[in-house]
Amino acid sequence: MKKPETIAAQALGWIEEKTRAVSPPLHVSSTFERDADNQYRSGRNYARADNPAFDQPEQVLAALEQGEAAMLFASGMAAATAVFLSLKPGDHVVAPKVMYWSLRNWLMNFARGWGLDVELVDTSDPAALKAAMRPGKTRLVWVETPANPLWDIVDIAAAAEIAHAAGARLAVDSTVATPVFTQPLALGADLVMHSATKYLNGHSDLVAGALVTKAIDESWQRMSDVRKQVGAILGSFESWLLLRGMRTLFPRVRAAAASAQTLAEALQRNENVASVLYPGLPGFKGHAIAARQMKGGFGAMMSIRVKGGEKAAIAAAARVQVFKRATSLGGVESLVEHRASVEGPDTPCPADLLRLSVGIEDAGDLLADLEQALRQGR
């Protein structure tokens, strides 16, 4: 097996057979010809079921995550909700208190109404997770690590052991960790989810999602049925763009994470910053677990709590010149967001918090930008 850097850069080394093209053709056909004897020997009939445009990005991602198979979806939310919709009404599922806000909303408002027994716990605390398990009834434990927007760290190996002991499966939203730093399946998880909109693509120019499974089993088949029957599929062009983005995953993500570490250390000393939330800082609550489970870096997402409260935080965000004020994360350009404004009244996100997605610009430019914005923001 080649190293992941090689797998990503060469997209598994594929060459298109007919033309010897190094970059794959863009497949756009919605339908595929049936053989004269009424068979479908190509294995394909209609692009809602599957699409040749998915093959390469799915196989590259499966290889990077050390999974048996991967599936692309129309968005990260489409991928995540397919996991829950593959369960049955009445099933008990455990999810984190601190997690991506829209998915938490969907679980509270849609999935509960649909019949799932959703319980939110502090999944960064193994004792709390263990206490929430109902053996034989809990079907799924969903975790996110590092988790939006406080970057709580979940010990994946411990969570897998707890879930499996109760007969449940463990799914990990690994969007922020990326396959560069963490392989949840190797640590015991059953399923990995990505908002491919973020680091996998990396250029803020498409919306996509993905699931990767440890084993092709009945549960995976149900998720595949959800994708096909609901039609939560990625477009051909987006699949092609995603593959192109994944080729540079390793250098992009490593550069961004190195800058994030530099920024976190410097911002910790900034007189206008009350605290820095970043798993790479030794004083951060989840640091020891992150240091064990994240290989070679701590990701490029962090939050800062601004002295002076909500007004000062929003004022600082208003003054950035290099960072862009925008939601989302994982692109080559750095973004800043006053997260509580997005998440609304029920959020666990403090009002003085700015979320930073660190890109691949010069780290000195990024730090100088934040320093001037914080200085004048008070």
Ligand X SMILES: Cc1ncc(COP(=O)(O)O)c(C=O)c1O
Q: Which is nearer to ligand X, 98 or 162 (CB)?
A: 98
Length in residues, the chain = 378
Pick the binder of ligand X from 76, 279, 286, 377 (CB under 6 A): 76
204 binds ligand X (CB under 6 A): no
Region 208-247 residues binding ligand X, contact defined as CB under 6 A: 209
77 binds ligand X (CB under 6 A): yes
The span of 4-12, 72-80, 155-163, 260-268 binding ligand X (CB under 6 A) equals 72-80
Residue 142: both structure tokens together: 């969903």
Pick the binder of ligand X from 160, 207, 260, 320 (CB under 6 A): 207
Judged by CB under 6 A, how many residues of this single chain contact ligand X?
A: 16
**Residues taking part in catalysis:** 48, 100, 173, 198
Q: Which is nearer to ligand X, 166 or 323 (CB)?
A: 323
Pick the binder of ligand X from 7, 50, 53, 100 (CB under 6 A): 100
148 binds ligand X (CB under 6 A): yes
Distance CA 84, CA 88 (A): 8
300 binds ligand X (CB under 6 A): no
Q: Which is nearer to ligand X, 235 or 308 (CB)?
A: 235
The span of 73-81, 178-186, 307-315, 352-360 binding ligand X (CB under 6 A) equals 73-81
The phi and psi torsions of 152 (rounded to 5 degrees) equal -55, 140
Q: Which residue, judged by CB position, is nearest to ligand X in the bound state?
A: 76
Going by C-alpha positions, the residue among 86, 314, 329, 294 that lies closest to residue 199 is: 329
Pick the binder of ligand X from 86, 124, 138, 175 (CB under 6 A): 175
Cα–Cα separations (whole angstroms), residue 240 to 51, 53, 64, 245, 315: 11, 7, 17, 9, 40
Q: Which is nearer to ligand X, 96 or 297 (CB)?
A: 96
Q: What is the CA radius of gyration of the chain?
A: 21
75 binds ligand X (CB under 6 A): yes
Q: Which is nearer to ligand X, 66 or 105 (CB)?
A: 105
Q: Which is nearer to ligand X, 76 or 350 (CB)?
A: 76
145 binds ligand X (CB under 6 A): no
261 binds ligand X (CB under 6 A): no
Residue 271 burial class via C-beta count within 10 angstroms: exposed 0-12, middle 13-18, buried 19 and up: exposed
| Whether 140 contacts 172, CB under 8 Å | no
201 binds ligand X (CB under 6 A): no
Distance CA 330, CA 241 (A): 15
202 binds ligand X (CB under 6 A): no
The binding site for ligand X (CB under 6 A) comprises: 75-77, 100, 103, 144, 148, 173, 175-176, 195, 197, 207, 209, 328-329
